[in-house]
Amino acid sequence: MAEKMKILIAYDGIHPFSGLIKDLQRAGLPKAADVIVMTVVDAYVPPSGKVPKSGRSARIKTGPQGSSAQVRIQAQLETYAQSAQRAAGQLKAVFPGWKVRMETAVDSPAWAVIKKSESWKAKLVVVEAHHRPRLAKIFFGSVAQKIVTEARCSVRVVHDEPEEVKTPVRLVIAVDGSEDCARAVEAAAARAWKKGSSVRLLTVTDVGLAEADIPTGAPRADGRAEAWIRQMQESFEKKLRAAGLSASSVVRKGEPSHEIVTEARKWGADSVFIGARGLQPVERFLMGSVSASVAAGAPCSVEVIR
């Protein structure tokens, strides 16, 4: 029996959870999964402090004089726990086959999520990136970027609430010949997408393409980089079509992250899939590693695949 996918959802405990749920309905995720909804109180607790690192009903014990900081952290912890519990219930209602539980922690938010993803061996971390005025301290933003760059598993960054959840999904997958880009294609092919969903494979080359070397070990066709790109794209198209997806390919010249974000916007993509690392610098005639920039600037959700 195949092991269930482990999904760690980092929730700020403040913003509505409905948008994230709608996005997950368009992520092609399995009907059965183990899921944790995690909230983190951003606070420093000295070694002698009594605030638990995580908890559901744990309480802080204070001395006769008490500690206003500890009391404040405890109150925030309990508020976040209630928010996470509600979010877990909402998620379970939409995904009845998922085993969902919640956890809270007191820590640096990004590192708390990263540590949990590693200890729990999560397959995917989901995090929202809120782009709103700083009326209050926003949990995510720079936190999302830290998770994208430091996590050892795949990370899905959710930007905006989708308007529709029942229509076919449009994906852009950035491919550059690296191992992680191949994993991005494999991840997309393994998902359960809505009927009629389509993929646009995008390879971005720079202006020095004609003078560049073909990556070590790459198929050389007639010795031209363009021919190798087409062969790579056709191979990926075949894999995606076998998974029931419509697939097409394009090649763009320019700065990689800009071209990927532009293509996603022009094509009306619901998600971008991109490998965490591109080709090595000595082989950078193609896309290179631009995942963090795309995750920050895309108009849609972005999955950084590892």
The model's confidence at residue 207, banded by pLDDT at 50, 70 and 90, is low
* pLDDT score, position 301: 95
Q: What is the largest CA-CA distance in the chain?
A: 81
Rounded Cα distance between 117 and 38, Å, is 10
**Which residues are within 8 A (CB) of 117 and not within 5 positions of it... i.e. 6 or more apart?**
8, 125, 151, 152, 153
The model's confidence at residue 23, banded by pLDDT at 50, 70 and 90, is very high
* pLDDT score, position 85: 95
* pLDDT score, position 64: 45
* pLDDT at 60 exceeding the cut of 80: no
* 5-158 and 170-305 in the same fold: yes
In 52-197, DSSP assigns E strands to 98-107, 124-128, 154-158, 170-174
* pLDDT score, position 63: 47
pLDDT tens for 215-226 read 555 544 445 788
What's the whole-number mean pLDDT along residues 45-55?
54
What's the whole-number mean pLDDT along residues 195-214?
75
* pLDDT at 172 exceeding the cut of 70: yes
What's the whole-number mean pLDDT along residues 172-199?
94
Higher pLDDT, 63 or 255: 255
* pLDDT score, position 69: 78
* pLDDT score, position 16: 87
Identify the CATH homologous superfamily for domain 170-305: HUPs (3.40.50.620)
Rounded to 10 degrees, what is the CA torsion of 249, 255, 257, 263?
-40
* pLDDT score, position 61: 43
* pLDDT score, position 57: 37
* pLDDT at 150 exceeding the cut of 80: yes
* pLDDT at 56 exceeding the cut of 90: no
Domain coordinates in residue numbering, the chain: 5-158, 170-305
159 close to 299: Cβ distance less than 8 angstroms: yes
* pLDDT score, position 243: 97
Rounded Cα distance between 206 and 167, Å, is 35
What's the whole-number mean pLDDT along residues 223-230?
81
* pLDDT at 202 exceeding the cut of 80: yes
CA angle 287, 288, 290 (to 5 degrees): 95
Higher pLDDT, 301 or 166: 301
Handedness of CA 58, 99, 13, 156 (dihedral sign): positive
* pLDDT score, position 217: 54
What's the whole-number mean pLDDT along residues 30-42?
95
Burial of 63 (0-12, 13-18, 19+ CB in 10 A): exposed
Higher pLDDT, 77 or 248: 248
pLDDT tens for 82-117 read 999 999 999 999 999 999 999 999 999 999 999 999
Its CATH architecture, for the domain 5-158, is: 3-Layer(aba) Sandwich (3.40)
- At 72, give phi and psi (nearest 5°): -65, -45
Rounded Cα distance between 153 and 147, Å, is 10
Mean pLDDT of the chain: 83
In the chain, DSSP assigns E strands to 5-10, 33-42, 98-107, 124-128, 154-158, 170-174, 198-205, 246-253, 271-275, 301-305
* pLDDT at 134 exceeding the cut of 50: no
Say which DSSP state 177 is in. Answer: S
